[in-house]
Every structure is written in C-alpha cells, then in structure tokens.
C-alpha cells in the first residue's frame, strides 16, 4: 500500500495533516464494549505507517481511557503526528461513565489541558477543541482561555466542535480558530448552509466526524442489523429499523457510483467529502485494519464534476429519515 497519503492544510493555518485522519473514540467508547487495548495500539501505529498524521480523541471518551490509549500508541511518533483532543464536558465526580453537563469555564479549561497533556504524554496539545458550545460561558472567555494556553506553549491550535456560524466568528475574533469539527456527510449536510461559507471566508479548516454516517454509509448496516446493548446507535432516531429501511436509498446511490469507480460505498462517501473543499479533512473511526485501508483508499479516488453532479442530483431526491441525535443531545448542537 502506498504510504504517502497526500496532505491538507487546515484553513489558513500552518497546520498540515494527512487528507484523512483517524477518529479514535470508537476504540474505547460509544460503539459497544471497548476494544482490546493492545490491538488498538497496533491499529493506531499501523495508521502512522500508512501515512496518517492526524488523530482525534477527547477526555470524555471513556472518560480518559481513549486519551491514554492514543498517548501510549503515539508516544514513539512525537513531533511526526498531530493529536486533537477536546474540553468542555462536566464529568461525574464519582467516576461514572457519563458526562453530567457542560463546563467551559476558563479555570476548567486549564485543568483539562493539564490533565490531557499528561495522558497524551505530550508537551503541547496540537489542536484543542471546545467539544460543545457552553451557553453559560461567553465564547470570548473560552477563546481567551485557550489563547492564554497557546501563549504558554501548552496548546498550539484552537478548535470548535458543533458550533454555529456566529459563535465561530466571535471566537475567531479573540483567538484565530484553526479548525471546526462537526458531523458532515452525504446524509447530514447542514454545515453547507452557514458553517462552510463562514469557514471559507475566515480561512478555517473543517473536520467532518461521522463522515460515514456512524457506519451506515458503508453499506454494512441494514434494517436487520442489531447493535450491542451499550452501542449509542440504539438511541439514535436515524437508526430505528424504519429509518434504516428508508435510508437504504442513500447507500444504494453510493453503491451505484462505487461500482462504476471500482470502489466501495465508504470510499465514495469519503471521496465526496474530500471533493467538496481542499481544506476538509474527514476523520472516520474504525477498529479494523481492513477498514482503515479501505478508508485511506478514498484519497486516490477521483470524482469528476460529472460524477459529483450525478451524486448531487440523485441525493437531492432522497429525504433522509430520522433525527441524527436523540432529543436529549440535540439541544447541545450547532449554536
């Protein structure tokens, strides 16, 4: 396999990363029981060997176990890779697995940064995202707190996750934002309305998470698929049996294009994202080496303007069924 994945720059910043990164959350959290740690360390290191230089984690994944995993796996590659992590959740003081609210107070941001540095075994956090916008803390105070950490050399770049256009502008005025991370894929295109034009104007990179629709766009999930009891997709309206049945049309579209291109539906879904803007870097999650290789293969797929028009025309006729988050989480998104 060619180890030279092309690089992309996140917006106007000097942060250059592999065109596809690796989302590490699912290795520890969210998709059923955590995977075997040794196997995941080996997978992360295989990604580096293949040219991946961008890895995504957060303190809340686990909590803490995912940052520890990523820190251990990448310790031999200091200076060669970019690790993004996140702050902004209030964790259960009794050590429970669930977050209990939001907390982006400056003193909390500092505390999270210090703890993340230790777990990741680094001197500076390459990219530090606010995980969700905290309505109780002005975004200017959040940006100011991260600016202070940047001045102290503890953080290199500031990011936002699931923030709306106005929040992005206000934060960027205080401390330039290097990247915004939000869900974006052929079956969740809301960022196209306001967020992407704002990022283009301000010179900010975009990092789509769930670029494969939490696995659905790979074509490996259908109406009969059952998930582990602690897989969060059980709570997602878009993953009810009826919704999956209705949403199969999107997978069928990807499969049709994939056949023409001698590719897989997942590769077409990722190639479509890469074709949208040169400053977009998707971070598909995986626990399997063969999926990693499949995802990275998307970089080599050239979608012509005709291909993109065909996808656009067909996709515009498909109405995706079901909300992307349960009601309880939806309140925390896109402000």
184 catalytic, yes or no? no
Q: Pick from 304, 216, 305: which is nearest to 261 by CA? A: 304
Q: Pick from 102, 182, 88: which is nearest to 131 by CA? A: 88
**Number of Cβ within a 10 Å radius of residue 241:** 12
Strand 155-161 and strand 177-183: pairing? parallel
E-only strand ranges, the chain: 7-9, 16-18, 22-23, 54-56, 82-87, 89-91, 99-102, 125-130, 155-161, 177-183, 205-209
Is residue 204 within 8 Å of 168, Cβ to Cβ?
Answer: yes
How many angstroms separate the CA atoms of 58 and 64, rounded? 8
Active-site option among 61, 129, 184, 325: 61
Is residue 81 within 8 Å of 21, Cβ to Cβ?
Answer: no
Show which residues are catalytic: 61
């Amino acid at each position: 396999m060619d180890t030279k994945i092309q690089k992309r720059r996140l917006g106007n910043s000097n942060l250059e990363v592999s065109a596809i990164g690796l989302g590490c959350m699912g290795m520890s959290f969210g998709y059923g029981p955590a995977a075997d740690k040794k196997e995941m360390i080996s997978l992360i290191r295989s990604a580096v060997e293949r040219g991946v230089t961008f890895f995504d984690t957060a303190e809340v994944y686990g909590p803490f176990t995912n940052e520890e995993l990523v820190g251990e796996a990448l310790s031999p590659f200091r200076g060669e890779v970019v690790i993004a992590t996140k702050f902004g959740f209030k964790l259960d003081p009794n050590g429970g697995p669930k977050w209990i609210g939001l907390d982006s107070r400056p003193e909390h941001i500092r505390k999270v940064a210090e703890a993340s540095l230790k777990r990741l075994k680094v001197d500076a956090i390459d990219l530090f995202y606010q995980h969700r916008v905290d309505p109780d803390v002005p975004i200017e105070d959040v940006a100011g707190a991260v600016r202070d950490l940047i001045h102290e050399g503890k953080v290199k770049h500031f990011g936002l996750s699931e923030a709306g256009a106005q929040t992005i502008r206000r934060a960027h005025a205080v401390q330039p934002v290097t990247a915004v991370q939000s869900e974006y894929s052929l079956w969740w295109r809301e960022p196209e309305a306001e967020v992407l034009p704002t990022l283009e104007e301000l010179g900010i990179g975009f990092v789509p998470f769930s670029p494969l629709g939490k696995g659905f766009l790979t074509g490996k999930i259908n109406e009969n698929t059952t998930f582990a009891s602690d897989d969060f997709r059980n709570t997602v309206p878009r993953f009810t049996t009826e919704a999956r049945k209705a949403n199969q049309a999107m997978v069928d579209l990807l499969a049709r294009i994939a056949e023409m291109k001698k590719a897989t539906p997942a590769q077409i879904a990722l190639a479509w994202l890469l074709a949208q803007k040169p400053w977009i870097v998707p971070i598909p999650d995986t626990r399997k080496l063969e999926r990693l290789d499949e995802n990275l293969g998307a970089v080599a797929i050239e979608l012509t303007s005709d291909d993109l028009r065909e996808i656009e025309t067909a996709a515009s006729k498909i109405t995706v069924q079901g909300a992307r988050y349960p009601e309880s989480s939806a309140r925390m998104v896109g402000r």
